[in-house]
């Protein structure tokens, strides 16, 4: 199915091989309907099941569906056959940032621009509860305009991966870029670990070599754990000071993303709030689809679009459902419903709900609504995201998801607040794929 020149799933014309690993290969491909270039990642199911990597693939899918940002490689859709899993992803033409650094150190302005885009992407991922855990120049791609794109979320973690102590415990990453607390294997904060890796990357961009080097791996680890590095003489004083705060071996005193983004050297020429244009569906981003969010201007919610595979994946009886979400976790923190009402009507009801439940509400781009409770619970304030997706002009799906706070409080909120308030707009709560598809759009909901 994936041979060069063949049509995959009646949607993509597969082209040349552009990358290959032990368990997957990546082809350039063309969307036969739109002509858009995509990258098709082809994963051999049998191979990954033999070595126990299926959970990692599931996690990568879940994470990539969570993050949509101009500086993150976009996942358009996931497809599968009996023997293969296919990721249709954004095709990034410019290659790895590593290749650029391999030619020599970068000028200060160029290094700062890439670092700004990296931090913007990382900050966004963290806001969605995603920690990359393997940030390095080889996983940073450049598009034809020279914009940075974070890729390879295979080792990433999500909030639900934390243990009861609130920390992550899986040791992973690339040795030269890994944080001291990850090496020590005593549990670590995913956000602080990512910040450390970003600091190593900034050093590499400006120096052309690594801050922690030694032929002996254990000696290199000792240097990392001591924060034992020296800046070249050409590093500006502001960068030296900033790096000392990023590459702080004590994670509790290490600079946060928020303070890093407020740093004068970092802020120079930085334009925050680059957002995906409202109305673009999942995986519909291009460099021309990015607009500036003007301060003080509220973005009207416009629904993203679900394709047939997104719909089918929600069916509990379909084989691929397990690739996207863990059902046990999903039942606790996430709910779906369909509606034949307009997005404005749904948002109006959510605003009504927020008022009666004493929640603060904020409308975001892409048909998203954020609500935050005023009461301090056992695990902090309850925070809930609602996102509207267009299935057809007369049918929308709404995802309601807990992003912070106590699960029991969230379940109580759903039972006593959400369902009663939304009863006039809800057509059907989460069910099978057949329940989601009225006869008029039945053909859209059946895969080829």
* CA separation for the pair 134, 155 (Å, rounded): 6
CA 188/CA 430 separation, integer angstroms:
36
Rounded CA separation 315/433 (Å): 5
Residue with tokens 């409080």: 409
DSSP states along 102-142: TT-PPPHHHHHHHHHHHHHHHHHHHHTTEE-----GGGEEE
442: DSSP letter:
G
Instruction: Please state, in angstroms and as integers, the Cα–Cα distance from residue 48 to each residue in 43, 76, 386, following that order.
Output: 8, 22, 34
- Residue 243's CB is within 10 A of a number of other CB atoms, namely 20
Distance, C-alpha 21 to centroid of its chain: 22
H-helix or E-strand spanning residue 225: helix 217-226
Q: What span, in angstroms and rounded, lies between the C-alpha atoms of 391 and 396?
A: 5
- As a whole number of angstroms, the distance between CA 435 and CA 440 comes to 13
Distance, CA of 231 to CA of 247 (rounded, Å): 12
Tell me if residue 306 falls in helix, strand or coil: coil
**CB-based burial, 363-391: b 16+ in 10 Å, e otherwise:** bbbbbbbbbbbeeeeeeebbbbbbbbbbb
For 134, the token pair is 């393997």
Identify the helix (H) or strand (E) that includes residue 18: strand 12-20
109 is catalytic: no
Do 445 and 310 meet the contact criterion of CB atoms below 8 Å apart?
no
CA–CA gap between residue 324 and residue 106 (Å, rounded): 39
Catalytic residue among 123, 134, 143, 385, which?
Answer: 134
Residue 44, phi then psi, degrees to nearest 5: -85, 110
Closest CA to 154 of 15, 60, 234: 60
**Which residues are catalytic, by number?**
134
């Amino acid at each position: 199915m994936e041979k060069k020149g063949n049509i995959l799933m009646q949607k993509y014309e597969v082209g040349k091989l552009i990358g290959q690993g032990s368990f997957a290969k990546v082809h350039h491909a063309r969307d036969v309907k739109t002509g858009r270039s995509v990258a098709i990642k082809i994963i051999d199911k049998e191979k990954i099941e033999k070595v126990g990597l299926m959970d990692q693939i599931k996690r990568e899918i879940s994470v990539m569906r969570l993050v949509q940002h101009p500086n993150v490689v976009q996942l358009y859709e996931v497809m599968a056959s009996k023997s293969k899993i296919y990721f249709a992803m954004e095709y990034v033409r410019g290659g790895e940032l590593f290749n650029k650094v391999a030619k020599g150190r970068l000028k200060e302005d160029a290094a700062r621009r890439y670092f700004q885009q990296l931090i913007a992407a990382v900050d966004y991922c963290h806001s969605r509860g995603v920690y990359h855990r393997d940030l390095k120049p080889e996983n940073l791609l450049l598009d034809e305009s020279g914009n940075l794109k974070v890729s390879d979320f295979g080792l990433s973690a999500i909030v639900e991966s934390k243990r009861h102590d609130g920390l992550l415990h899986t040791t992973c990453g690339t040795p030269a870029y890994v944080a001291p607390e990850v090496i020590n294997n005593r549990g670590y904060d995913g956000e602080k670990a990512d910040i450390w890796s970003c600091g190593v990357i900034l050093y590499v961009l400006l120096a052309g070599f690594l801050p922690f080097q030694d032929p002996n791996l254990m000696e290199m680890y000792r240097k990392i754990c001591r924060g034992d590095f020296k800046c070249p003489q050409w590093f500006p004083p502001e960068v030296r000071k900033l790096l000392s705060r990023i590459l702080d071996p004590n994670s509790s005193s290490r600079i946060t993303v928020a303070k890093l983004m407020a740093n004068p050297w970092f802020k120079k020429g930085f334009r925050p709030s680059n957002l995906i244009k409202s109305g673009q569906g999942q995986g519909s981003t291009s460099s021309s689809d990015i607009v500036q969010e003007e301060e003080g201007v509220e973005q009207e919610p416009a629904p993203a679009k679900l394709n047939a595979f997104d719909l089918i994946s929600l069916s509990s009886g379909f084989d691929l459902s397990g690739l996207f979400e863990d059902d046990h976790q999903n039942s606790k923190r996430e709910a779906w419903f369909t509606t034949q009402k307009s997005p404005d009507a749904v948002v109006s009801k959510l605003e009504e709900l927020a008022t009666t439940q004493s929640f603060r509400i904020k409308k975001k781009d892409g048909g998203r609504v954020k609500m935050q409770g005023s009461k301090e619970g056992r695990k902090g304030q309850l925070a809930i995201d609602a996102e509207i997706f267009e299935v057809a002009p007369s049918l929308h799906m709404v995802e309601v998801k807990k992003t912070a706070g106590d699960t029991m409080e969230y379940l109580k909120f759903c039972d006593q607040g959400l369902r009663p308030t939304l009863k006039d707009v809800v057509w059907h709560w989460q069910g099978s794929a057949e329940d989601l598809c009225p006869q008029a759009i039945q053909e859209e909901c059946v895969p080829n």
